[in-house]
Structure 1
Amino acid sequence: MAERAVLAIDEGTTNSKAILVSGHGDIIASGSAPVPIEHPKSGWVQQDAEAIWAATLQAIAECTNASPATDVVAIGISNQRESIMIWDRKTGAPCGPVITWQCRRTSADCDALKQQGHEPDVIARTGLPLDPLFPPTKVAWLLDHYGGERRDICVGTIDSWLIWKLSGGAVHATDRSNAARTQLFHLADLRWDASLCNLFGVESAMLPEVYDSGHVFGSTKNVGPLADGIPIASAIGDSHAALFGHGAFGQGDSKVTFGTGSSVMTTIPAFVVPPNGITTTIAWSLNGEPTYAYEGNILVSASILPWTAQMLGLDGVDTLLDLAQTVSGTEGVSLVPAHVGLGSPHWNAEARGLICGLSFGTQPAHLARAAAESMALQVQDVYAIMAHDDDARAGRLFVDGGPSSNRFLMQILADFLDHAVTPCRNPEASALGAAYLAGLTTGFWPNLEAVAGLVSHDSDIVPNMPSGVRDVSLSAWRNAIARTTIVG
Structure 2
Amino acid sequence: MNILALDLGTSSVRGLVLDSDIQAVPGALARRRVELTVDDDGTGTLDGRGYLACLIECLDELSEQGWLREVELVAISAQWHSVLPLGADGEPLGPVLTWLDTRPEPLPAQAGPADPDAFHQRTGTWWHRCYWSVRLPWLRAHSGSPVARFTGLVEYALSQLLDDAPMSMSQASGTGLLDLRTLDWDAEACALAGIEGDELPELAPADWRGRLRPAYARRWPTLARVRWAAPLGDGAASNVGSGCVDQTRAAVTVGTSSAVRLLQRMPAYAPLAPLPAQLWRYRVDHDHVVTGAAYSSGGNLFAWADRELRLPAGPALEAALRRLPPDGGRPANIGFGGDRPPGDRRAGSGELRGLSFGTTAVQLLAGLMYGVCEQVVGDLAALESTVSSPVEVVLGGGAMAASPWWRGAFATVLAPRPVRFGRHPEIGATGAALVACGRIGDAVALADISQTDDQSSAATA
Task: Give TM-score scaled by structure 2 length.
Answer: 0.87
Q: What is the identity, as a one-letter code, of the residue corresponding to 2:105?
A: S
Shift of 1:336: 1.9
Shift of 1:460: 4.2
2:184 to 182, 188, 191: 191
Closer/same/farther in 2, CA of residues 142 and 265 from structure 1, 3 Å limit: same
Structure 2 equivalent of residue 82 of structure 1: 81
Deviation readout 1:256-290 (Å, 9 max, x if unpaired): 221121121112454344323221222x11xxx43
Greater shift in the superposed pair: 290-299 or 220-229: 220-229
Provide the C-alpha distance between the structure 1 equivalents of 2:144 and 2:185, rounded to a whole number of angstroms.
20
Provide the C-alpha distance between the structure 2 equivalents of 1:358 and 1:452, rounded to a whole number of angstroms.
44
Closer/same/farther in 2, CA of residues 409 and 350 from structure 1, 3 Å limit: closer
Structure 2 equivalent of residue 275 of structure 1: 276
Query: What does residue range 183-332 of structure 1 map to in structure 2 within 5 Å?
Result: 183-211=176-204, 215-221=207-213, 222-223=215-216, 224-225=219-220, 227-270=223-266, 271-282=272-283, 284-285=284-285, 289-314=286-311, 320-331=317-328
Closer/same/farther in 2, CA of residues 425 and 365 from structure 1, 3 Å limit: closer
Structure 1 equivalent of residue 32 of structure 2: 33
Structure 1 equivalent of residue 355 of structure 2: 358
1:9 is the counterpart of 2:6? yes
- Judge conservation of contact 1:415–1:465 (CA < 8 Å) in 2: no
Structure 1 equivalent of residue 269 of structure 2: none
RMSD (CA atoms) = 3.0
Q: What is the identity, as a one-letter code, of the residue corresponding to 2:161?
A: L
1:97 is the counterpart of 2:92? no
Provide the C-alpha distance between the structure 1 equivalents of 2:254 and 2:328, rounded to a whole number of angstroms.
25
- Judge conservation of contact 1:263–1:295 (CA < 8 Å) in 2: yes
Deviation readout 1:390-440 (Å, 9 max, x if unpaired): 436444422221112122211111110112233222221111111222333
Deviation readout 1:87-113 (Å, 9 max, x if unpaired): 346x44222210111101113549964
Structure 1 equivalent of residue 448 of structure 2: 456
Provide the C-alpha distance between the structure 1 equivalents of 2:387 and 2:36, rounded to a whole number of angstroms.
38
1:137 is the counterpart of 2:138? no
**Paired residue secondary structure (1:423):** strand
Shift of 1:380: 2.2
- Identical aligned residues as a percent: 21
Greater shift in the superposed pair: 219-228 or 259-268: 219-228
Shift of 1:215: 3.8
**Paired residue secondary structure (1:276):** coil
Structure 1 equivalent of residue 158 of structure 2: 163
Deviation readout 1:198-253 (Å, 9 max, x if unpaired): 111122112222236x6433211233345323211231001101112233332343
Shift of 1:36: 0.9
Closer/same/farther in 2, CA of residues 40 and 219 from structure 1, 3 Å limit: same
Q: Following TM superposition, where does structure 1 have runs of at least 4 consecutive aligned residues deviating by more than 6 angstroms?
A: 464-467
Greater shift in the superposed pair: 294-303 or 126-135: 126-135
**Paired residue secondary structure (1:102):** coil
- Judge conservation of contact 2:133–2:192 (CA < 8 Å) in 1: no
- Judge conservation of contact 1:85–1:139 (CA < 8 Å) in 2: no
Shift of 1:454: 4.0
Provide the C-alpha distance between the structure 1 equivalents of 2:65 and 2:322, rounded to a whole number of angstroms.
38
Shift of 1:453: 4.5
Q: What is the identity, as a one-letter code, of the residue corresponding to 1:143?
A: R
Deviation readout 1:278-317 (Å, 9 max, x if unpaired): 21222x11xxx43123210101111101212333223667
Q: What is the identity, as a one-letter code, of the residue corresponding to 2:239?
A: L
Deviation readout 1:58-111 (Å, 9 max, x if unpaired): 22223344444632101111111111113346x442222101111011135499
Provide the C-alpha distance between the structure 1 equivalents of 2:298 and 2:393, rounded to a whole number of angstroms.
18
Shift of 1:146: 3.7
1:378 is the counterpart of 2:375? yes
Shift of 1:159: 2.7
**Paired residue secondary structure (1:178):** helix
Provide the C-alpha distance between the structure 1 equivalents of 2:171 and 2:109, rounded to a whole number of angstroms.
24
- Judge conservation of contact 1:261–1:298 (CA < 8 Å) in 2: yes
Shift of 1:171: 1.9
**Paired residue secondary structure (1:53):** helix
Shift of 1:335: 1.4
Provide the C-alpha distance between the structure 2 equivalents of 1:317 and 1:275, rounded to a whole number of angstroms.
41
Shift of 1:21: 0.6
Where structure 2 has 5 or more consecutive residues not aligned to the other structure, the ranges are 267-271
Where structure 1 has 5 or more consecutive residues not aligned to the other structure, the ranges are 441-446, 468-488
Q: What is the identity, as a one-letter code, of the residue corresponding to 2:5?
A: A
Query: What does residue range 114-129 of structure 1 map to in structure 2 within 5 Å?
Result: 119-129=116-126
Greater shift in the superposed pair: 140-149 or 334-343: 140-149
Provide the C-alpha distance between the structure 2 equivalents of 1:219 and 1:438, rounded to a whole number of angstroms.
15
- Judge conservation of contact 1:342–1:351 (CA < 8 Å) in 2: no
Provide the C-alpha distance between the structure 2 equivalents of 1:134 and 1:315, rounded to a whole number of angstroms.
39
Task: Give TM-score scaled by structure 1 length.
Answer: 0.82
- Judge conservation of contact 2:81–2:174 (CA < 8 Å) in 1: yes
Greater shift in the superposed pair: 155-164 or 14-23: 155-164
Deviation readout 1:308-342 (Å, 9 max, x if unpaired): 23332236676554432222255572112101213
Closer/same/farther in 2, CA of residues 117 and 317 from structure 1, 3 Å limit: farther
**Paired residue secondary structure (1:123):** helix
1:341 to 333, 338, 342: 338
Q: What is the identity, as a one-letter code, of the residue corresponding to 2:94?
A: G
Q: How many residues align?
A: 447
Closer/same/farther in 2, CA of residues 423 and 67 from structure 1, 3 Å limit: farther
Structure 1 equivalent of residue 424 of structure 2: 426
Q: What is the identity, as a one-letter code, of the residue corresponding to 2:230?
A: S
Closer/same/farther in 2, CA of residues 225 and 128 from structure 1, 3 Å limit: same
Structure 2 equivalent of residue 436 of structure 1: 434
Closer/same/farther in 2, CA of residues 182 and 312 from structure 1, 3 Å limit: same
Provide the C-alpha distance between the structure 2 equivalents of 1:110 and 1:375, rounded to a whole number of angstroms.
34
Structure 2 equivalent of residue 46 of structure 1: 45
Greater shift in the superposed pair: 157-166 or 367-376: 157-166
